[in-house]
Structure 1
């Protein structure tokens, strides 16, 4: 009888322990898989939305995202970038956004917010790229690089700025999003030597640092692209598309 009780207790304890650890492992796997699915869905959405940068004639794009108990939030305040050419900053506050270009100008470009959050994990569409992080931790990484290109003769900076109402929604269903162009500005700066992009404020510092250190942007200093042969023969093309996101 004693042996039976001991064997039964061992079996019962083993089943209980396995159930607890197994369920936790399954829950962790489910959460990780949900985040990966959200990342892929956000990347597909970003590729679709970025058509407003690639093609001047496109004024609107529509996409869907399965929230799965996650939350989507929008707003007009997000990562702030400074862009300067040969040491002089570009002014975003002009009606033409980049028309006035000088050392005394306000150079900040606020990229706004379009973000998916689930269990504290965040995936943010910023400037045309995707950044990942966690609301309770300082780390962040790049899922999709913004459209920043540094060539030997030409640097191209193309950014999407979300200017949307501050709102959020949580749902288990799929949700449709419409991105509409409100303003589009582009300017070519000739006779340049270098262009610099620096992050003034961001919840994704590590991700932006990694972006600006990679490729030719980090050749000398973080976020610096040298164009031309150093004699003022380079060219910088800057495009900013301001959009609203409705859902």
Structure 2
């Protein structure tokens, strides 16, 4: 009997299937091997990254501990300290040349600069691994990353509060390096060396003394952690922070203006108000005016002002009176302000708040021959009210032009303002008025002395007192000391 033949299509499929089985096994094995290789490769990289970050974190913790210990050495609380740093695959080293600092008092005399701290090395104790670093520098701890960015881990010894800058310059000297386990030993000769205030003098012979007057104080730091230094300066102060070049940061603080007791400047010169805080930050402003000869029995023609101008803003304080010859005579006081260049103005006037006084001068008993006027522009609330009216004719400096009284004198610029719109004949407290207009013309201006009609005021015998809160851009008191720390990495 003849055997039946298998269809050709069946035989074709059967043969192909038989060949595919070993090929499939090979493909599966290949995929498994490839997947394993990828997993191992990426897994190893991930594990390496985790290990690297872990080591950097441990090094950071070690540097933070180092910071707390070395600060006691740097600031004289301890003569020596020794710190064991974590074991890592990176390296620790003392770099006495890492970073520099310079401090300059710009325009200290109105036109010239004085270098308070010349270019000085800060030094650092540095940990480096895989393109990243952590450093103890300037009394703080800083961390940099592979992409070049940097951040502060713990703050440096730079302390700014309410106009006082205290800056112990911690300088790291020494040598040594180690990979893996490391120990840092540090010592200091003792208390720091004063830089400011100090017996040293400016080029013009003035002492390095507080309060700091004129110009600005600029701190310039060159460091691979400059960005982090700058962020810290911006957080701690409202000073002007700039980046003059790569790895360089500078912070500039304004020196405060006249503060406290002052001698009345001569005519055309002024009382400098600088760095005043926003709002009603003026706390106290008073002064005494005397005749040209302090023993004169009268003011020949009392017509005297302090004025300031900032662009379109004009401000004038006027003290006046004709024929002021006797003790206890009334003296006129007026305040003038314009914010449109004098087209309209706010005017406030009193003809009986001030009066002449007589008394002992230079050790002589009062005999009617000594006369003066005490002007307190910030008396206790309720002590003095001024009337809203035209006062431009009373001015010494801002006298010409339109005499129009502003009809929209509304006080709503600052939180203490009452939100009132004043019209002719209204009264307001003198202290509120003075603080309001100082805030309007501020934060920096000069109150210039102006004598009218040969008023005969003796500025050399006149004086005053001014006090106001400073902004976060101001440095009033500067305390700089140098602290050298010798470190050894073993």
TM-score (norm 2): 0.42
What is the number of equivalent residue pairs in this alignment? Answer: 226
1:71-90 correspondence runs (5 A): 71-85=91-105, 87=107
Q: State the partner residue of 2:480.
A: 238
Give 1:118 deviation, angstroms: 1.5
Larger of the two Rg values belongs to structure: 2
Residue 212 of structure 1 is aligned with which of 216, 233, 239? Answer: 233
After superposition, the C-alpha distances for 1:103-131 in whole angstroms (9 at most, x for unaligned) are 26662221113111112221111111122
Residue 185 of structure 1 is aligned with which of 193, 211, 219? Answer: 193
Q: Quote the Cα distance in structure 2 between the aligned partners of 1:220 and 1:203.
A: 20
Residues 195 and 151 (structure 1 numbering): CA distance in 2 closer, same or farther, change over 3 Å?
A: farther
Give 1:221 deviation, angstroms: 4.1
Q: Secondary structure at the match of 1:203?
A: coil
Residue 219 of structure 2 is aligned with which of 190, 197, 207? Answer: 197
Q: State the partner residue of 1:151.
A: 161
Q: State the partner residue of 2:332.
A: none
Does 1 or 2 have the higher relative contact order (CA < 8 Å, sep 6+)?
1
1:100-111 correspondence runs (5 A): 103=114, 107-111=118-122
**Does residue 176 of the first structure (1) align with residue 183 of the second (2)?**
yes
1:46-61 correspondence runs (5 A): 46-54=67-75, 56-61=76-81
Contact 1:152 1:227 in 2 (8 A): no
Q: Quote the Cα distance in structure 1 between the aligned partners of 2:231 and 2:59.
A: 22
Residues 145 and 124 (structure 1 numbering): CA distance in 2 closer, same or farther, change over 3 Å?
A: same
Residues 208 and 241 (structure 1 numbering): CA distance in 2 closer, same or farther, change over 3 Å?
A: same
Give 1:5 deviation, angstroms: 2.1
Give 1:42 deviation, angstroms: 0.8
Give 1:245 deviation, angstroms: 0.6
Higher helix fraction (1 or 2): 1
Give 1:227 deviation, angstroms: 6.0
Give 1:50 deviation, angstroms: 1.0
Contact 1:79 1:110 in 2 (8 A): yes
**Root-mean-square deviation (CA), in Å?**
2.5
Residues 116 and 221 (structure 1 numbering): CA distance in 2 closer, same or farther, change over 3 Å?
A: closer
Q: Quote the Cα distance in structure 1 between the aligned partners of 2:166 and 2:107.
A: 17
Contact 2:74 2:484 in 1 (8 A): no
Q: State the partner residue of 1:98.
A: none
Give 1:63 deviation, angstroms: 0.9
**Does residue 30 of the first structure (1) align with residue 51 of the second (2)?**
yes
Residues 105 and 20 (structure 1 numbering): CA distance in 2 closer, same or farther, change over 3 Å?
A: closer
Moved more, 30-39 or 79-88: 79-88
Q: What residue ranges of structure 1 are gaps of 5+ in the alignment?
A: 89-101
Q: State the partner residue of 2:417.
A: none
Q: Quote the Cα distance in structure 2 between the aligned partners of 1:105 and 1:159.
A: 12
TM-score (norm 1): 0.80
Q: Secondary structure at the match of 2:240?
A: coil
Contact 2:135 2:143 in 1 (8 A): yes
Q: What residue ranges of structure 2 are gaps of 5+ in the alignment?
A: 1-21, 198-208, 243-250, 261-475
Q: Secondary structure at the match of 2:174?
A: coil
Contact 2:92 2:126 in 1 (8 A): yes
